[in-house]
Amino acid sequence: MTVVGPFGLSVRDQALEADVQNGLSAVEAGLLEATKSEVPFITESAQHLVRAGGKRFRPLLVMLAAQFGDPYAPGVVPSAVVVELTHLATLYHDDVMDEADVRRGVASANARWGNSVAVLTGDFLFARASHILADLGPEAVRIQAEAFERLVTGQILETAGPRDGRDPVEHYLDVIGGKTGSLIAVSGRFGAMMSGADDGITDILTQYGERLGVAFQLADDVLDIASDSHESGKTPGTDLREGIPTLPVLHLRARAAAEGRPEDLALVALLDGDLTDDARHAEVLAGLRAHPALERARRDTVRYAEEARAMLAPLPECYAKAALEELCDAVVHRAG
C-alpha cells in the first residue's frame, strides 16, 4: 500500500499507483509548459501558483476516473491540465475579489503585483486552457463551457446573496455546487470520457465528482473554523475575518433567528462587528468552535461524501473504485 496524491490517499495496487503517479507527473509538466510565455514576466506570474504547489485534487480524480477505460489514452493528461489550469485561474480572480494576501502559503498574485496583473494572469490561464481544449474536440469544449458558466454563476450568486425568502443555507449549497462542484464533476467526466469509458460509467463519475466537490468545500468551511493549521496555507478564521459566509456561520445565524437564544444572538452580534480586531476575531472563533453549528456543518460534509460514495455502487469492483471510495473518507477526515 503506497500513499499518493492529496490527503495521503493510499493505493493498494502497484499498477494503479504507477499510472496515477506517472499521470500526475505528466500533468505537472503540462502545467509548466502551458504557463510559459514569450514574455518572461507573464511566465513568472502565470507559474506563481503552479510552483506554489497544491493538492492537485482535480487531476487526481481525472487519473482515477480514466482507470475505467484506457488510462493511457492521449486526451487524459491534457484534460487534467485543462481542469487544473481553470481552477488556478479562478484562484487568481478569487484572491482579487476577496482581497486575499496569502494563497498556498505564499503571497497572492494580487498582493505581489496588484489586482490588474492578477486578473489578467487569470485570463491568460483561461486562454491557455481553451487552447488545449480545442485539441480535445467540440464535446470537451462544450462540457468545459457549461461548467465554467456554472462556476461563474455560482460566484455571482454568492456576491448577490440569497433572494428574499430564500433559505440562506440552500442558497449557499447552490453556490458551492457551481463554484466547486462543477469543475470537480468535470474532472470525473473528462477522465472517464477521454479514456473511452462507456456513457453510463462517465455519468456515474460525473455525479460522484459533483457531490464530492460539495463535500470538499464544506470540509474547507469546517477547517476554517476548527483547524489550527489550515491545509490551504491560510490561517484559521480567514474566511471569518473577510466576511465570507461559510456553512457553520450560516447554521449559527439560522438557529439564532429561529430560536432566539441569548448566547446565539450574542455570538451573531460579535460576528457582525469588526473582525479585523484580533481579540474580537479570536472570541468569535472560539465561540464557533464550541457551537453546535460547527458539528452540524460536519454532518452536512459527511452526508455529501456519503452521497458521492453511494454513486459508485454500480461500478465494477477494482482498485480504482476503492481509491475513489477512500477519497470520500479523506474528505470527511479533513473535517473531523
Indicate whether 259 and 131 sit together in one domain: no
- Residue 8 in any domain: the answer is no
Give 143's contacts (C-beta < 8 A, 6+ positions apart).
186, 189, 190, 193
Indicate whether 68 and 157 sit together in one domain: yes
Which pLDDT tens digit goes with each residue over 88-132? 999 887 777 766 667 766 777 777 777 788 889 889 999 999 999
Which pLDDT tens digit goes with each residue over 213-264? 999 999 999 999 998 754 445 577 888 887 888 999 999 999 999 999 999 9
pLDDT at position 3:
47
Indicate whether 107 and 253 sit together in one domain: no
10 Å Cβ neighbour count for 259? 9
User: Could you tell me the residue range of the domain that residue 293 belongs to?
Assistant: 199-335
Indicate whether 40 and 186 sit together in one domain: yes
Indicate whether 177 and 291 sit together in one domain: no
Which ranges in the chain belong to alpha helices (H)?
A: 14-34, 40-46, 48-51, 57-65, 76-98, 109-113, 115-134, 138-160, 168-176, 182-195, 199-226, 238-241, 247-259, 262-271, 278-289, 292-311, 319-334
- Residue 203 in any domain: the answer is yes
Kindly report the pTM of this predicted structure: 0.90
For 79, the grid coordinates are 484534460
CATH number for the domain including 139?
A: 1.10.600.10
Indicate whether 272 and 312 sit together in one domain: yes
Indicate whether 183 and 37 sit together in one domain: yes
Average pLDDT by stretches of 10, the chain with 336 residues: 53 85 96 94 86 88 97 97 94 73 72 79 93 96 96 92 92 95 97 98 98 95 81 68 89 95 95 90 94 96 97 96 94 78
pLDDT at position 218:
96
From 197, 224, 256, the end of a domain falls on: 197
From 197, 221, 247, the end of a domain falls on: 197
Indicate whether 135 and 274 sit together in one domain: no
